[in-house]
Amino acid sequence: MRRMTKIIAAIALCFAALTSCRHKELCLHHPHTANVRIDVDWSGFEKEVPTGMTVMVYDDNGDLVESHLTNTTTHAYVSLEAGTYHSIVYNQSTSEFGSVKFNGMDNYATAEVCTRPVVSKWYKTKAEEERVGADPEWIGADRVENSVVTPEMVDETTEHFVLESKTRAGREMSYVIAEHHPLNIIYTVYVTIHVDGIYNLRSARASLEGLAEGYVFHKEGPTASIVTQLLESWDMTQDKTDPTKGYVTSKITCFGLPDGHKGLPEENPFVFSALLVDNATIAQFPFEVGDKFRKRVVDGVEQEMEYEIELWLSVPLPDVPPAGGSSSGFDAIVEEWGDEIEQNIQM
């Protein structure tokens, strides 16, 4: 009997040792993180259906802990330790944009997207610090702050791991810690210029200074830094009753007005240049339009991300003989022009 007791005790000790070794092995190898899910709803973006998205997760100190690029645009799975997190979502990846660049993305406080600088053949910057920027592509973005991963989430994920149900824990048993609703962050500025003597106009171009250089993700707003953007494609419409009058229109995309903009005229210099039909005379008309940005109204509805600027030339374009003896027509795209002649206008 005593011998049988010793045998049973030995078997029990062996089983306990095997179990302990198995448990220690699992404890050494399981990730000590919670499997969590970040949900994303793109219905408010409205510009285009993204084919992919980037999810960036930062810890409470602002340091990047997870950067996740996925073709699944409804959600993303990540593994996180217990703690508090902030997350940023935007469409596509940084490499898929040609006209913008992403800066400081390794920290939540510095993450921003800015327009790429461009070199113009015709526009000459007025100061060394002036930057000329490209028209940005459509970007949808959102941020969520203070998402919490609890120790209980980690414990439950670990429990499923130990039970060898890691796949089920990562999908069926994940925890939703954030719900993103990305919106368009890119503005459109529409410009209309009324012109007397419009039959003398061959082509047009313009520059608009004082626009926001970019967008700060954690502020959900524009940068204080500014750029100049160029309007190089214009459409002309002549008045049906008086063909000597009419207007030209153009538009650009941008990051809107900069942080701290006060609506003062001088904050946004605008210069309209007109190449006349003699293909030689260039008239230049300077404006200050910082107080002229108006929300665009379509069918009685104010458009949140659209501005319009409407201007009038107070002097007619001068009469010049058309090149070749006849009107050469209006060119929508900027060509190589000669030197500009500045025309003073009444504001």
Which 3-state string (H, E, C) describes 269-333? EEEEEEEECCCCCEEEEEEECCCCCEEEEECCEEEEEEEEEEEECCCCCCCCCCHHHCCCCCECE
- The Cα–Cα gap between 71 and 345 comes to 54
pLDDT of residue 162: 62
* Other Cβ atoms closer than 10 A to 300: 5
pTM above 0.75, yes or no: yes
Q: Which amino acid is at 31?
A: P
pLDDT of residue 344: 47
- The Cα–Cα gap between 31 and 149 comes to 14
pLDDT of residue 22: 43
pLDDT of residue 49: 85
Closest residue by Cα to residue 261 from 211, 297, 302: 211
**pLDDT tens per residue across all 347 residues of the chain:** 444 444 444 444 444 444 444 444 445 455 689 999 999 999 999 898 899 999 999 999 999 999 999 999 999 999 999 999 999 999 999 999 999 999 999 999 999 999 999 999 999 998 999 999 999 999 999 999 999 999 999 988 887 666 654 444 444 568 999 999 999 999 999 999 999 999 999 999 999 999 999 999 999 999 999 999 999 999 999 999 999 999 999 999 999 999 999 999 999 999 999 999 999 999 999 999 999 999 999 999 999 999 999 999 989 999 999 987 665 578 877 667 865 555 544 33
pLDDT of residue 338: 63
pLDDT of residue 24: 47
Sign of CA dihedral 260, 263, 266, 271: positive
pLDDT of residue 262: 98
- The Cα–Cα gap between 189 and 135 comes to 11
- The Cα–Cα gap between 252 and 117 comes to 15
pLDDT of residue 265: 98
Name the burial class of residue 246, with classes exposed (0-12), middle (13-18) and buried (19+) by CB atoms within 10 angstroms of its CB: buried
